[in-house]
Amino acid sequence: MPLVLTTSAAACALLAGCGTTPAPDAKAAPHSSAPSSARPQPSGSGSPAVRPVPSSLAGRTIVIDPGHNPGNFRHTKEINQKVDIGTNRKECDTTGTATADDYTEAAFTLDVSHRLRDLLEAQGATVVLTHDADRPYGPCIDERARIGNGRKADAVVSVHADGSAAGNRGFHVILPAPVRSGAADTAPIVAPSRTLGERIATHFARATGTSPANYIGSGTGLDVRDDLGGLNLSTVPKVFLECGNMRDPKDAALLTNAAWRQKAAHGIAEGIGTYLKG
């Protein structure tokens, strides 16, 4: 998969030159300074007419993990500090990617997470955000996992947008691989996480009208990874969702559209709801 810049790339300014694919919890924007604030499409601030998430989620705890933090740009030293993810050590966090017009991944993930929270809470779920831009940076990827674990969440979804090459389009859901090393043991969550991911992929595609990624996952919309601290250290069902590719102009036009982001939130909520209802 083509690569984007990371905050940890002191010796390698372009990850594409490194020959490795960055983890979604290790992406960085293509600019070294903090880009401008969120730029939602001016004509789309309202929610589309979509049916509500069916059934009640009362008694369920769902953790939403908005990828990155708008403050990360001002704290590159702190987020470059490495933490233990079981299999190895990895950067605390990264800045995330951005569109060509500097609509940041951190702004996108917060917006979708807020919309998703509202939909789930309307169905009676207890919803916890790992952060709400209410801290200077982070949290680190190991802490993000601990938040879901500590709440004994029924499901955790980490919301992201990818930073691949132009022409690479579509969404994909990242699932935990079997990992048992150090503090990491994903054996109990591999199967339920896959079910959660499959449900989200189905409903996300239906709600947004977008297709699974054409550059990863062989058209399934699913990708299994063993190098993400947020998954390796989780003890509850968890997936990452890359909602689209911010570096592709056509995907970027969707991601910056408020009405589309509401559809995205609705698709995620439906996927979680159908998973929790069995």
Which of the residues are catalytic? 242
Q: Structure tokens of 217? A: 């996952």
- In 3D space, the residue among 207, 7, 239 whose CA is nearest the CA of residue 105 turns out to be 7
Sign of the CA dihedral with 6 first, then 10, 13, and 18 last? negative
Residue 81: partners with Cβ closer than 8 Å, 6 or more residues away: 91, 92, 140
Omega before 136 cis (within 30°)? no
Show Cβ contacts of residue 68 under 8 Å, excluding neighbours closer than 6 positions: 27, 93, 94, 95, 96, 104, 105, 106, 109
CB within 8 Å of 260: residues ≥ 6 apart: 44, 208, 254
